[in-house]
A and B are shown apart, each in its own frame.
Chain A
Amino acid sequence: MLLLAVIHLGDEAYGVPISRQLEASRGRDVSVGSVYAALERLEAKGLVTSSLGDPTPERGGKAKRYFRITKEGLRQVHETRRVLTKLWQVLPELRLGSR
């Protein structure tokens, strides 16, 4: 989900919009701290890169940290999608309320 959010936001992918995107997708609050922790783990794996932006007054002079997906990250996203699609395709049709 995080990788998809980063891809979706493009050049504007930093903590606040990523968290809002995830909140909108999940329908509940998201901890910005845990978003950063997860993004740092992805960065350690080489799936995203980060760079610091300029400080802005509305943030109290604090800089933004922008995230971008790497080629390896993009490949992983495609691979995950392919596997999930394959798994969904082989599932039998589910009926709500049936046992």
Chain B
Amino acid sequence: MKRTEPPQFATRMLEHCTPADRHEVLSGDLLEEFRSGRSEAWYWRQVFAACAVSWTESLRARIPLFVFALIWSMLAPAWKVFIDGIESAPIIDRILDPLGILGAPPLLAGWLLLNGSFLWAGMLVYILTLSACGKVFRRNEVRRPFLLVPFVYAWVFGAWTFLCMLDWTTPFENGTFPATPLGQITGLGALEDAMRIPYIIALLAVFWNVIPRSKHAALSEAEMEQADSAAQSDPVALIANFDPFAVKRFFALMVGAGVINAMIAGFLLCGLPESHSPTLTSLLIRAVIYVAVGALAGVGGAWIYWKNPASPFRENPPIPFPHFALVCATAWVWVPCMIIFSEQVSPAAALVAMTGALILANGLRSVTASVFVPAQHDTSYLAPEEAEIFAESLYRAPHEVHGYLIAICVYAAGCALATRSNLTAAALLALGAFLFAWKRTFVQDKVLESSKVYKRGALRLALIAIPAVLVTIWALLDGVAHRNHLAEVNMALADNGTSANDGAQQKATDQASTNGVGGYESVILWPLPEKKQIIPPLTAQESLLAPGTTRPLIIPFDGPYWYIQPPNENPGPKAHQARGTPLGADIESSNSVPLTMEAHQTLGTAIHIARCREIQVGIENRDNKAGVIAIAVLLTDTASPEKPALYLGQQPIVSTEPEHFSFKTMPASETLYFAVPESTKIRKFNEINVMLLSDVEHALIAPKIAIRQFKLFPR
């Protein structure tokens, strides 16, 4: 007897593995055929074939998404390096450290925002690229992924990090990115790929259900929707009536997007030449490229927002985008030189930003005159004699809030310049200059033909690009000179003070030590009590030597702490010296070179290695940043000409490790144990050197860890 119902499992499989709009008619067709005499095997074959076809179609529809996610994620390592630079900036720690545990939410929000920005930019590029290829997205479908993507990324990143940590050969450990942005983008190492994968997964996850359709399909859908909801009004059409406030808001958004994009491009791509003495021709070529990069990146950033599906200017702009781009590019060409100046902590960055803002405001005010010029009073409906009366308006006292704002910007910029916050000063001065130029620009009533407008815009851009190139060359020259000067200083310091009497190097060292680049080249921190020549009691040391001694020798630490930067191995003769304890001193790197912290204890008299079994190092830890810090101990015999040393290895500080970390209001005491080998190359030592080996978190800020004492146990 033949069954009248097909296999239930196959029907369920069909329902779950085929698209919702297809499985109903498909299962109806298969049921009809089955009841008309087809076999169960035929039914199963049809179900498997339908599932395979659906999966293939589903994957094929997402091929552009796969390709785009792969391409966009190639940029991820460069973006990651950029984010790391922001996260490790000393100002972030200065802001977040006092907040303690309360600093976690803003830190997380900042992290989400930074990673979300990268993904949002990618999603916009994807949508606009496919839109340019004739594909159409539903606005409602796109909005949801935009909102979700930072959170999806956070979840994926967490899961991916956990998976990587399961494997002991995790790519996050001991890996470094290539030095240049191009190397980071093209690098295919394990670390780069590990950074890319969460971005790929996040992009695929949020866009999985957003399938672009052809314009024909979208048109027919739109017609159907129009028939369903003819009474509904189009919000975009409503906004596109050029409400001046909305227009100002969107212009501000697009100019801001362009500036941010140009700044990102500037930070990533506009570096100093590698040569120590570049030729003027190479500098000119480099400057032209940088100016073009600034302009193109700015135009690209504004274009993304201009063509955004939510933008009211997309269909019916108040001015054509090319015209807007020509005007704004005159400001964006100044961004690369501003970045180069700001990297040298030069106040010229603020002046350049102000110049760009003046030019931008002047250009924008002129081209948007038709949108923002106030409408004239219409008195035509009045009688002639009344019209004359009402045509004249009463005098009103000027109410210029912008004047106060400009003054505040100028004063605040002055304060920022005094504290060397040049980027803040640049932003404030640029805002003040923009407001001033916006209010003071004379608007012409004459309307030019579009061809003349473009010609005039292009000519203006060309004329402004020339000084921008010259200023960029100046910035590059200044940057190279600055770098060469730093190299000279490092060489002088690395010379261990032996060449301190040399004229030029001495001069350079003097300048660096007194002025430096926003700080000191190195620091020596002495303990708070007056420095005393500590010579451990001879009897105690002799007791170590004496056979049968069992009591340990305790040496309280009273030596100096060194804060130096590689490649220097010692502070040099002109180091800044101060008294204090690391538990209370805030010492941080004033540039991007990590700090090295060392503590040196001189014993005065040598101790025989053979008589010492173990050294215990007592420390006090008041560092409130979780991370991995290890202490390494080196025993040195400075009395011998070769200064031989014995490395005792390194031990982690447990109270700082993330799993044992707690916020400390009082210093936490901890003891680290170092075994001394019986047979070594050196026979005695008279100095104990302790090195604090920090992780990335503590690379730029010295840990607040002090050495309390050493306890030497006899063998």
The answer to whether B26 and A31 touch across the interface, beta carbons within 8 angstroms, is: no
| Residue from the list B25, B35, B49 in contact with A31, Cβ < 8 A | B49
Are the CB atoms of A37 and B213 closer together than 8 Å?
no
CB-nearest residue of chain A to B216: A46
Given A34-B49, A46-B216, A63 and B28 touching (CB < 8 A)?
yes
Interface status of B31 (Cβ within 8 A of chain A): yes
A63 in contact with B25 given A16-B32, A44-B216, A45-B216 (CB within 8 Å): yes
Most chain B beta carbons < 10 A, residue from A19, A36, A55: A36
- The answer to whether the Cβ of B42 comes within 8 Å of any Cβ in the partner chain is yes
Q: Quick check: is B440 within 8 A (CB to CB) of the other chain?
A: no
Query: How near does chain A come to B426, taking the closest CB pair, in angstroms?
Result: 52
Partner of B30, one of A32, A34, A58, A64: A32
| Closest Cβ–Cβ distance, residue B134 to chain A (whole Å) | 12
Q: B28–A31 contact, CB under 8 A? A: no
Decide if A59 is an interface residue (CB 8 Å cutoff).
yes
Measured in the bound complex, the distance between the Cα atoms of B30 and A36 in whole Å is 12
Contact assessment for B26 and A36 in the assembled complex, using a CB-CB cutoff below 8 Å? yes
Q: Which of B50-58, B79-87, B383-391, B535-543 contacts A (4 or more CB under 8 A)?
A: B50-58
> B214 near A: Cβ within 8 Å?
yes
CA of A52 to CA of B22 in the docked complex: distance in angstroms? 11
Partner of A33, one of B24, B35, B46, B216: B46
Instruction: Check A31–B46 contact: CB distance below 8 A.
Output: yes
B49 touches A60 (CB 8 A): no
Contacts of A32 in B (CB 8 A): 26, 29-30, 33, 46, 50
Chain B nearest CB: distance from A63 CB in Å? 6
Chain B residues lying within 8 Å of A33, measured Cβ to Cβ, are 18, 22, 26, 46, 49-54
Residue-wise interface mask of A (81-94) relative to B, using a CB-CB cutoff of 8 A (1 in contact, 0 not): 00000000000000
Please, could you name 8 A-B residue pairs with CB atoms under 8 Å apart, sorted by A?
A14-B29, A15-B25, A31-B49, A32-B46, A34-B49, A37-B54, A40-B22, A62-B27
B214: A residues at CB distance < 8 A: 44-45
Interface string of A50-90 (1 = CB under 8 A from B): 00100100111011110000000000000000000000000
Q: Which residue of B lies closest to A53 (CB)?
A: B25
Q: How far is the CB of B36 from chain A (nearest CB, A)?
A: 8
B-side contacts of A44, CB under 8 Å: 213-214, 216-217
User: Nearest Cβ in chain B — how far from A33, in angstroms?
Assistant: 3
Q: Is B144 an interface residue (CB 8 A)?
A: no
Contact A58 B35 (CB under 8 A): yes
* A29 interfacial by beta-carbon distance below 8 Å: yes
Q: Given the interface contacts A34-B53, A46-B216, does A63 sit within 8 Å of B29 by beta carbon? A: no
Q: Mark A20-44, 1 if CB is under 8 A from B, else 0.
A: 0000000001011110110010011
Name which residue of chain A comes closest to B30, CB basis: A32
Indicate if B138 sits at the interface (CB-CB under 8 A): no
Which of B22, B24, B28, B35 gathers the greatest number of chain A CB atoms within 10 Å? B28
**Hey, which chain A residues are within 8 Å of B29, CB to CB?**
14-16, 19, 32, 59, 64
Q: How many residues of B contact A (CB 8 A)?
A: 28
The contact of B25 among A29, A37, A65, by CB within 8 Å, is A65
Q: A36-B25, A62-B24 are in contact. Are A31 and B31 (CB under 8 A)?
A: no
Knowing A36-B22, A62-B25 touch, does A29 contact B42 (C-beta < 8 A)? Answer: yes
Q: Does B402 contact A (CB under 8 A)?
A: no
Tell whether B45 is near chain A: CB-to-CB under 8 Å: yes
Residues of chain B within 8 A of A58, CB atoms compared? 31-32, 35
Q: By the criterion CB–CB under 8 Å, are B50 and A64 in contact?
A: no
* CB neighbours of A63 from chain B (8 A): 24-25, 28
* CB of A20, distance to nearest CB on chain B (Å): 8
Q: Contacts of B217 on A, CB cut-off 8 Å?
A: 43-44
Residues in A neighbouring B26, C-beta threshold 8 A: 15, 32-33, 36
Q: Which residue of A lies closest to B50 (CB)?
A: A33
A58 to B33, CA, bound (A): 10
Q: Which positions 210-237 of chain B face chain A at CB distance < 8 Å?
A: 213-214, 216-217, 220
20 new A-B contacts, CB < 8 A, other than A29-B45, A62-B25, are A14-B25, A15-B25, A15-B26, A16-B32, A31-B46, A32-B33, A36-B22, A37-B53, A37-B57, A43-B217, A45-B214, A45-B216, A46-B216, A46-B220, A52-B25, A58-B32, A58-B35, A62-B27, A63-B24, A64-B25
Give the chain B neighbours of A60 by CB distance below 8 A: 27-28, 31
